[in-house]
Amino acid sequence: MDLGFRMHAERTPNPNSVKWVLSQALAEGGEGAHFPEPVAEAISPLAARLFAVDGVAGVFVAGNFVTVTKGEDHEWADLAQGVVDAIKAFVASEEPTFGPDYEAPSERSGDGVAARIRTILETEVRPAVAQDGGDIIFAGYREGIVEVYLQGSCAGCPSSTMTLKMGIEARLREEIPEIQEVVAL
Protein backbone atom coordinates (compact mmCIF):
# COMPACT_ATOMS: atom_id res chain seq x y z
CA MET A 1 0.00 0.00 0.00
CA ASP A 2 1.24 3.46 -0.89
CA LEU A 3 2.45 5.36 2.17
CA GLY A 4 0.63 8.42 0.83
CA PHE A 5 -2.68 6.57 0.83
CA ARG A 6 -5.37 8.27 2.85
CA MET A 7 -9.04 7.60 3.37
CA HIS A 8 -11.80 9.29 5.31
CA ALA A 9 -15.51 8.79 5.82
CA GLU A 10 -18.20 11.35 5.07
CA ARG A 11 -21.80 11.26 6.17
CA THR A 12 -24.44 11.33 3.45
CA PRO A 13 -28.09 12.41 3.62
CA ASN A 14 -28.94 8.72 3.72
CA PRO A 15 -28.31 7.42 7.28
CA ASN A 16 -27.74 3.94 5.88
CA SER A 17 -24.91 5.05 3.56
CA VAL A 18 -21.38 6.32 4.23
CA LYS A 19 -19.11 7.77 1.55
CA TRP A 20 -15.47 6.63 1.90
CA VAL A 21 -13.18 9.07 0.09
CA LEU A 22 -9.76 7.79 -0.97
CA SER A 23 -6.62 9.65 -2.01
CA GLN A 24 -6.58 7.68 -5.26
CA ALA A 25 -8.98 7.06 -8.12
CA LEU A 26 -11.13 3.94 -8.09
CA ALA A 27 -13.13 4.53 -11.28
CA GLU A 28 -11.92 6.47 -14.29
CA GLY A 29 -13.89 8.59 -16.71
CA GLY A 30 -16.57 9.92 -14.38
CA GLU A 31 -18.68 6.78 -14.56
CA GLY A 32 -20.04 5.15 -11.48
CA ALA A 33 -20.93 1.53 -10.86
CA HIS A 34 -23.76 0.54 -8.54
CA PHE A 35 -23.87 -2.93 -7.04
CA PRO A 36 -27.18 -3.43 -5.18
CA GLU A 37 -26.32 -7.06 -4.41
CA PRO A 38 -23.18 -9.16 -3.94
CA VAL A 39 -21.01 -9.71 -7.01
CA ALA A 40 -18.17 -12.02 -7.90
CA GLU A 41 -14.56 -10.84 -7.77
CA ALA A 42 -14.46 -11.23 -11.56
CA ILE A 43 -16.98 -8.36 -11.75
CA SER A 44 -15.49 -6.14 -9.02
CA PRO A 45 -12.85 -7.26 -6.54
CA LEU A 46 -13.60 -4.17 -4.43
CA ALA A 47 -17.36 -4.73 -4.30
CA ALA A 48 -16.85 -8.45 -3.58
CA ARG A 49 -14.61 -7.64 -0.59
CA LEU A 50 -17.10 -5.12 0.76
CA PHE A 51 -20.06 -7.49 0.43
CA ALA A 52 -18.07 -10.03 2.45
CA VAL A 53 -18.53 -7.69 5.43
CA ASP A 54 -21.65 -8.76 7.31
CA GLY A 55 -24.29 -6.03 7.01
CA VAL A 56 -23.20 -4.47 3.70
CA ALA A 57 -26.26 -4.17 1.46
CA GLY A 58 -24.99 -2.03 -1.42
CA VAL A 59 -21.80 -0.64 -2.96
CA PHE A 60 -21.40 2.32 -5.29
CA VAL A 61 -18.00 3.20 -6.79
CA ALA A 62 -17.19 6.43 -8.64
CA GLY A 63 -14.14 8.63 -9.03
CA ASN A 64 -12.12 8.48 -5.82
CA PHE A 65 -14.87 7.27 -3.51
CA VAL A 66 -16.95 4.24 -2.61
CA THR A 67 -20.33 4.61 -0.95
CA VAL A 68 -21.30 1.67 1.23
CA THR A 69 -24.92 1.10 2.22
CA LYS A 70 -25.73 -1.00 5.25
CA GLY A 71 -28.79 -3.12 5.87
CA GLU A 72 -31.54 -1.65 8.06
CA ASP A 73 -30.88 -4.18 10.81
CA HIS A 74 -27.17 -3.34 11.18
CA GLU A 75 -25.34 -0.49 12.91
CA TRP A 76 -22.36 1.44 11.55
CA ALA A 77 -20.56 0.97 14.84
CA ASP A 78 -20.57 -2.79 14.18
CA LEU A 79 -19.47 -2.80 10.55
CA ALA A 80 -17.37 0.34 9.96
CA GLN A 81 -14.08 -1.34 10.90
CA GLY A 82 -14.80 -4.26 8.57
CA VAL A 83 -15.50 -1.83 5.74
CA VAL A 84 -12.26 0.07 6.42
CA ASP A 85 -10.29 -3.18 6.53
CA ALA A 86 -11.84 -4.40 3.26
CA ILE A 87 -11.02 -1.13 1.47
CA LYS A 88 -7.45 -1.10 2.79
CA ALA A 89 -6.93 -4.74 1.79
CA PHE A 90 -8.26 -3.97 -1.68
CA VAL A 91 -5.92 -0.98 -2.11
CA ALA A 92 -2.96 -3.05 -0.88
CA SER A 93 -3.79 -5.76 -3.44
CA GLU A 94 -3.34 -3.27 -6.30
CA GLU A 95 -6.14 -5.05 -8.17
CA PRO A 96 -8.29 -3.06 -10.57
CA THR A 97 -11.68 -1.95 -9.21
CA PHE A 98 -13.49 -3.74 -12.03
CA GLY A 99 -12.72 -7.29 -13.07
CA PRO A 100 -12.75 -8.91 -16.51
CA ASP A 101 -16.47 -9.81 -16.27
CA TYR A 102 -17.61 -6.24 -15.50
CA GLU A 103 -19.85 -4.73 -18.15
CA ALA A 104 -20.18 -0.95 -18.04
CA PRO A 105 -23.63 0.43 -18.74
CA SER A 106 -23.91 1.18 -22.44
CA GLU A 107 -24.08 4.81 -23.46
CA ARG A 108 -27.16 5.35 -25.53
CA SER A 109 -26.84 8.03 -28.13
CA GLY A 110 -29.64 10.52 -28.10
CA ASP A 111 -30.85 13.59 -29.76
CA GLY A 112 -33.49 16.17 -29.08
CA VAL A 113 -35.06 16.17 -25.64
CA ALA A 114 -33.15 13.10 -24.40
CA ALA A 115 -29.81 14.69 -25.29
CA ARG A 116 -30.77 17.92 -23.52
CA ILE A 117 -31.84 15.97 -20.42
CA ARG A 118 -28.60 13.98 -20.45
CA THR A 119 -26.55 17.20 -20.71
CA ILE A 120 -28.24 18.81 -17.69
CA LEU A 121 -27.93 15.62 -15.64
CA GLU A 122 -24.24 15.19 -16.54
CA THR A 123 -23.13 18.80 -16.07
CA GLU A 124 -25.27 19.97 -13.16
CA VAL A 125 -27.01 17.16 -11.30
CA ARG A 126 -24.46 14.32 -11.18
CA PRO A 127 -21.67 16.48 -9.71
CA ALA A 128 -24.04 17.70 -6.99
CA VAL A 129 -25.30 14.26 -5.96
CA ALA A 130 -21.75 12.86 -6.09
CA GLN A 131 -20.91 15.26 -3.24
CA ASP A 132 -23.34 13.24 -1.12
CA GLY A 133 -21.94 9.86 -2.23
CA GLY A 134 -24.56 9.09 -4.84
CA ASP A 135 -25.28 9.19 -8.53
CA ILE A 136 -28.16 9.62 -10.92
CA ILE A 137 -28.25 7.80 -14.23
CA PHE A 138 -30.54 8.73 -17.12
CA ALA A 139 -32.67 5.69 -18.04
CA GLY A 140 -35.00 7.15 -20.64
CA TYR A 141 -37.55 9.72 -21.71
CA ARG A 142 -41.01 9.11 -23.11
CA GLU A 143 -44.25 11.05 -23.25
CA GLY A 144 -43.05 13.80 -20.91
CA ILE A 145 -41.67 11.40 -18.27
CA VAL A 146 -37.96 11.30 -17.44
CA GLU A 147 -36.80 8.02 -15.91
CA VAL A 148 -33.65 7.86 -13.80
CA TYR A 149 -31.83 5.42 -11.56
CA LEU A 150 -30.71 6.70 -8.16
CA GLN A 151 -27.55 4.99 -6.97
CA GLY A 152 -25.18 4.97 -4.03
CA SER A 153 -26.41 6.98 -1.06
CA CYS A 154 -29.29 8.36 -3.16
CA ALA A 155 -30.91 4.92 -3.40
CA GLY A 156 -33.28 4.63 -0.46
CA CYS A 157 -32.37 8.04 0.96
CA PRO A 158 -35.22 9.64 2.92
CA SER A 159 -34.63 12.97 1.17
CA SER A 160 -34.29 11.54 -2.37
CA THR A 161 -37.95 12.18 -3.23
CA MET A 162 -37.56 15.85 -2.30
CA THR A 163 -34.30 16.09 -4.27
CA LEU A 164 -35.91 14.37 -7.25
CA LYS A 165 -39.07 16.51 -7.33
CA MET A 166 -37.99 19.89 -5.99
CA GLY A 167 -34.47 19.88 -7.39
CA ILE A 168 -33.98 17.72 -10.44
CA GLU A 169 -37.52 17.84 -11.83
CA ALA A 170 -37.76 21.61 -11.29
CA ARG A 171 -34.40 22.21 -13.00
CA LEU A 172 -35.23 20.03 -16.00
CA ARG A 173 -38.69 21.62 -16.42
CA GLU A 174 -37.08 25.07 -16.29
CA GLU A 175 -34.96 24.21 -19.36
CA ILE A 176 -37.29 21.73 -21.08
CA PRO A 177 -40.96 22.72 -20.59
CA GLU A 178 -42.30 19.52 -22.21
CA ILE A 179 -41.09 17.49 -19.20
CA GLN A 180 -44.03 16.60 -16.97
CA GLU A 181 -42.38 14.45 -14.32
CA VAL A 182 -39.13 12.78 -13.21
CA VAL A 183 -39.42 9.30 -11.72
CA ALA A 184 -36.87 6.98 -10.13
CA LEU A 185 -36.87 3.38 -11.31
Number of domains in the chain: 2
The residues near 164 (Cβ < 8 Å, ≥ 6 apart) are 148, 150, 182, 183, 184
Tell me, what CATH number does 48's domain have? 3.30.1370.70
The residue from 37, 63, 93 where one domain ends is: 93
Q: What is the pLDDT of residues 36-72, one digit of tens each?
A: 899 999 999 999 999 999 999 999 888 889 999 999 9
In a domain, 99, yes or no: no
More confident residue, 9 or 142: 9
Residues of the chain with pLDDT > 90, as a percent, come to 44
pLDDT (tens digit per residue) in 72-104:
999 999 999 999 999 999 999 999 999 999 987
34: Cα within 13 Å, side-chain hemisphere: 17
Q: How far is CA 68 from the centre of its chain?
A: 9
Predicted structure pTM score: 0.71
Phi, psi of 40 (to 5 degrees): -75, 155
Task: Tell whether 12 and 62 lie within a shared domain.
Answer: yes
Residues 74 and 45 in one domain: yes
Q: What is the mean pLDDT of residues 5-9?
A: 91
pLDDT of residue 106: 54
Whether 105 maps to a domain, the answer reads no
Domain hosting residue 172, numbered range: 112-184
